[in-house]
Amino acid sequence: MFAVSPRRRPGAAGFEDGTISFAAVAAARHGFALIDRLGGFAAVARHSLGLAQYLTQALESLRHGNGRPVVIVYGNAWSSALRGGGGAFCEELQGPTVAFNLLRRDGSFVGYAEVGAQSHNEAKKKQN
**What pLDDT tens digit does each residue of the chain (128 aa) get?**
555 555 566 766 666 667 777 777 888 899 999 999 999 999 998 899 889 888 988 998 999 999 999 999 887 665 544 555 544 556 677 778 888 999 999 999 999 999 999 999 998 888 87
Does some domain include residue 52? Answer: yes
How many domains does the structure of the chain reveal?
1
| 53 and 82 Cβ atoms separated by less than 8 Å | yes
Question: What is the C-alpha to C-alpha distance for residues 37 and 49, in angstroms, rounded to an integer?
Answer: 19
Query: Domain residues for 88?
Result: 20-127
pLDDT of residue 57: 86
Does some domain include residue 100? Answer: yes
Query: In a 3-state reduction of DSSP, which class is residue 119?
Result: helix
Does some domain include residue 102? Answer: yes
pLDDT of residue 22: 75
Q: Nearest-CA neighbor of 83 among 106, 108, 53?
A: 53
Backbone angles phi, psi at 63, to 5 degrees: -135, 145
Please give the angle made by the CA atoms of 40, 79 and 70, to the nearest 5 degrees: 105
